[in-house]
């Protein structure tokens, strides 16, 4: 578990808030009852794409966009060649059609997942998409003039849909990423990013896309130049205080970190400082307080709007009375003015995002920014060296691409991927990042949770607040694994962290069962207890508490949670074995580990249990007494052939080469440990 960077924190494949498809007219009732059969709306809607009427084409695209949100309808559209039929409409003469066609493909990519994205790229969707993006950027100046005139569908609206589609495709398809690299689309994304001063929505879409395409993309690093880095640095140094810009700066910081090996030596220190300052300022924000304030601001604004609406109703009623007194000719003249507002609303094809939810958008941007900041720090504090405490999630992926040859010459003084460099280490400390991360590991504010719980549209933030906590715990785990104890505050600070983690896990009547929380908190506890044991620092968690955690973990389906809990027992037991009068507790720990080693269905977990047994009973009078009392030698002798047979039978089909290598080592160590116990018995 030490290598948390292997957790690629992908965004959800579909988020209703992410929709910005125009055209919200409801389709007839029978379109809600979708299926893959004859009654599917796919055929009828796709036929309408060929209509000579732009309004009909727009209507069809908008409804395709809505219908494909129900994933069971997607095969019906794909079978009817939807991608090839929608593709040309990206370059339609009507801006409204361009926007809705791109939105339809965007939703298809988001709701269809990786396989659909791969299929879309195979059907050459990148060709019209690339052309559309270039046309959009070329038309930005014209767009500004259209916006001033109040024209509805603008070039930037189309560009926003196109960038989001590109983001989805590049996130899911290596072929799309290759096209991105070769077609020089980076310049287009940067132009969208540069428009953040007056179109934050487009800039955020571009920043998300850039953050994705720069991750582990050695080919793209060859395209890096001072203009690219200059654009990112200008975003980092922007001063707008709203949460959308906070998120924008955070995403820019993530892109800079992804591009670290291409930074010129002379700018490394300055850029690193700007990056850390961005993350630090983001984590300083108190999400609980701000969410509470934003919700109250929304309520106050709604009340004001309601009062204004009542006044308009009274004025309209008075107007209607006056109209009734007019003759027919006068009434005909007044009618359009009276009904103009309603007519405008009826024809409004705006984004599907809820209207009047500026405060909710701000709160969402804040939590996304904090989660992203923590994920960036997780990757900063991630050693790329394989270690024995991460073998349960070992991957065969080649991470050498992180620092490609030819791009790091002269730049090796900073940001080495092999360890936490002195410069990065110093920047983390200078900006008080460990302290701010620790604060974010607390449970979300109860006041903020109550605010969200009692409002249907704000409920989505509850999971986001918990997600920030989980990322902070993973971040704490990585910092404990890569930073020295003194940098983290020394023995007293580590004891305080132990007390804090103990409170998180053991303060409630029952140990929390949320899997993501358990994975993050057990990883942090494991790293912390390793340091505390090494430094011989007294810690507050009792063996009984840790046993209860282990018991809870055995019922968790996540392998890494069970592995962490077993490692924690091993660390605790090996420490107790050096103390007097601990044989009874060691017996309890030994029995628990034996139970898992013999009964868990996963060989990785069984191996970790055996490893922990080796640590606990390796030495000492108390360990020898406890081993004898639980008949450890006979139990391990009985387990040895079973463990060996399971490796031979299940190994190659279920486990990676790295995991099998570790399991083979444990098999050898089991034989040696049995030999050691036999010599102890003979004494």
pLDDT band at 310; cut points 50, 70, 90: low
**Rounded Cα distance, 236 and 253, in Å:** 7
Residue range 100-116, pLDDT digits in tens = 999 999 999 999 999 99
pLDDT digits (tens, 9 = 90+) for 175-205: 999 999 999 899 999 999 999 998 999 999 9
What confidence tens digit (pLDDT) does each residue in 3-31 have?
A: 333 344 443 333 333 333 333 333 333 34
pLDDT for residue 334 is more than 50: no
Answer yes or no: are the C-beta atoms of 630 and 591 closer than 8 Å: yes
pLDDT at 336 over 80: no
* pLDDT surpassing 80 at residue 515: yes
What are 599-639's pLDDT values in tens digits? 999 999 999 999 999 999 998 999 999 999 999 999 999 99
Q: Using alpha carbons, select from 374, 431, 162 the residue that is nearest to residue 253.
A: 374
Report the percentage of the chain scoring pLDDT > 90.
67
Q: What is the pLDDT of residue 595?
A: 95
What whole-number distance in Å separates Cα of residue 353 and Cα of residue 267? 41
For residues 284 and 431, is the Cβ–Cβ distance under 8 A? Answer: no
Rounded to an integer, the average pLDDT of 394-420 is: 37
* DSSP string of 588-627, one letter each residue: HHHHHHHHHHHH-S-HHHHHHHHHHHHHHTSS-HHHHHHH
Neighbours of 638 (CB within 10 A): 12
> Average pLDDT, stretch 51-71?
95
**∠ CA 504-510-514 to the nearest 5 degrees?**
65
Residue 494 backbone phi and psi in degrees, to 5: -65, -40
In tens, the pLDDT along 156-168 reads 999 999 999 999 9
Write the DSSP symbol of residue 383.
Answer: -
With cut-offs at 50, 70 and 90, classify the pLDDT of residue 239.
very high
pLDDT of residue 28: 35
Count of residues for the chain?
683
Mean pLDDT of the chain: 83
Average pLDDT over residues 219-229: 86
At how many degrees (to 10) do helices 140-148 and 126-138 cross?
60
Q: pLDDT, tens digit, for every residue of 135-155?
A: 999 888 765 555 544 555 689
In angstroms, how far apart are the furthest CA atoms of the chain? 118
* Predicted model pTM: 0.82
Let me know: does 417 contact 402? Beta carbons within 8 Å: yes
What was the pLDDT predicted at 309? 60
Residue 403: which pLDDT band, with cuts at 50, 70 and 90? very low
**Cβ atoms within 10 Å, residue 421:** 17
In the prediction, which pLDDT does 681 show? 85
Q: What is the pLDDT of residue 151?
A: 56
């Amino acid at each position: 578990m030490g290598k948390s960077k292997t957790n690629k924190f992908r965004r959800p494949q579909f988020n209703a808030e992410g929709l910005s498809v125009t055209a919200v007219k409801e389709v007839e009732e029978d379109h809600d009852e979708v299926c893959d059969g004859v009654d599917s709306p796919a055929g009828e809607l796709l036929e309408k794409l060929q209509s000579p009427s732009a309004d009909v084409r727009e209507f069809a695209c908008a409804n395709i966009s809505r219908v494909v949100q129900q994933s069971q309808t997607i095969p019906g559209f794909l079978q009817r060649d939807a991608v090839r039929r929608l593709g040309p409409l990206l370059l339609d003469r009507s801006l409204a059609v361009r926007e809705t066609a791109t939105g339809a493909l965007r939703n298809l990519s988001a709701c269809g997942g990786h396989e659909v994205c791969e299929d879309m790229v195979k059907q050459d969707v990148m060709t019209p998409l690339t052309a559309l993006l270039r046309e959009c950027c070329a038309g930005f100046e014209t767009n500004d003039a259209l916006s001033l005139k109040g024209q509805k569908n603008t070039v930037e609206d189309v560009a926003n849909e196109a960038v989001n589609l590109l983001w989805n495709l590049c996130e899911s398809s290596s072929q799309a990423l290759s096209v991105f690299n070769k077609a020089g689309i980076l310049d287009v994304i940067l132009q969208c990013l540069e428009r953040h001063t007056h179109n934050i929505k487009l800039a955020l879409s571009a920043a998300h896309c850039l953050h994705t395409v720069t991750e582990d993309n050695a080919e793209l690093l060859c395209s890096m130049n001072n203009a690219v880095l200059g654009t990112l640095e200008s975003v980092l140094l922007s001063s707008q205080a709203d949460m959308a810009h906070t998120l924008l700066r955070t995403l820019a910081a993530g892109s800079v970190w992804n591009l670290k090996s291409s930074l010129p030596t002379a700018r490394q220190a300055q850029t690193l400082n700007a990056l850390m300052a961005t993350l630090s300022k983001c984590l300083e924000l108190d999400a609980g307080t701000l969410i509470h304030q934003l919700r109250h601001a929304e309520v106050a604004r709604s009340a004001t709007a309601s009062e204004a609406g009542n006044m308009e109703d009274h004025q309209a009623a008075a107007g209607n009375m006056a109209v009734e007194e007019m003759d027919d000719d006068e009434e005909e003249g007044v009618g359009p003015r009276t009904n103009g507002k309603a007519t405008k609303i009826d024809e409004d094809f705006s984004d599907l995002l809820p209207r009047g939810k500026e405060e909710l958008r701000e709160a969402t941007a804040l939590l996304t920014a904090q989660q992203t900041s923590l994920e960036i720090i997780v990757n900063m504090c991630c050693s790329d060296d394989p270690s024995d405490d991460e073998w349960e999630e070992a991957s065969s992926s080649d991470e050498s691409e992180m620092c490609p040859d030819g791009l790091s010459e002269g730049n090796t003084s900073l940001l080495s991927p092999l360890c936490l460099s002195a410069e990065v280490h110093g920047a983390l400390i200078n900006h008080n990042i460990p302290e701010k991360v620790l604060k974010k590991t607390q449970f979300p504010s109860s006041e903020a949770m109550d605010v969200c719980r009692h409002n249907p549209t704000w409920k989505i933030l509850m999971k986001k607040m918990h997600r920030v906590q989980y990322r902070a715990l993973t971040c704490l785990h990585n910092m404990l694994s890569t930073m020295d104890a003194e940098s983290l505050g020394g023995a007293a600070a580590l004891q305080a962290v132990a007390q804090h983690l103990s409170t998180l896990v053991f303060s409630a009547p029952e140990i929390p069962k949320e899997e993501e929380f358990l994975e993050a908190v057990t990883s942090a506890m494991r790293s912390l207890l390793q340091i505390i044991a090494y430094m011989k620092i007294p810690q507050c968690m009792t063996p009984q508490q840790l046993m209860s955690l282990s018991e809870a973990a055995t019922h968790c389906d996540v392998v890494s949670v069970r592995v962490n809990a077993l490692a924690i027992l091993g660390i605790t037991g090996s420490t107790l074995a050096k103390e007097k009068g601990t044989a009874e507790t060691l017996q309890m720990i030994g029995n628990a580990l034996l139970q898992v080693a013999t009964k868990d269905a996963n060989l990785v977990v069984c191996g970790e249990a055996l490893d922990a047994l080796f640590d606990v009973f390796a030495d000492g009078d108390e360990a020898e007494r406890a081993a004898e009392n639980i008949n450890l030698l006979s139990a391990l002798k009985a387990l040895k052939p079973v463990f060996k047979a399971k490796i031979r039978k299940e190994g190659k089909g279920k486990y990676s080469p790295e995991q099998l290598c570790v399991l083979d080592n444990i098999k050898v160590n089991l034989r040696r440990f049995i030999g050691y116990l036999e010599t102890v018995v003979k004494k």
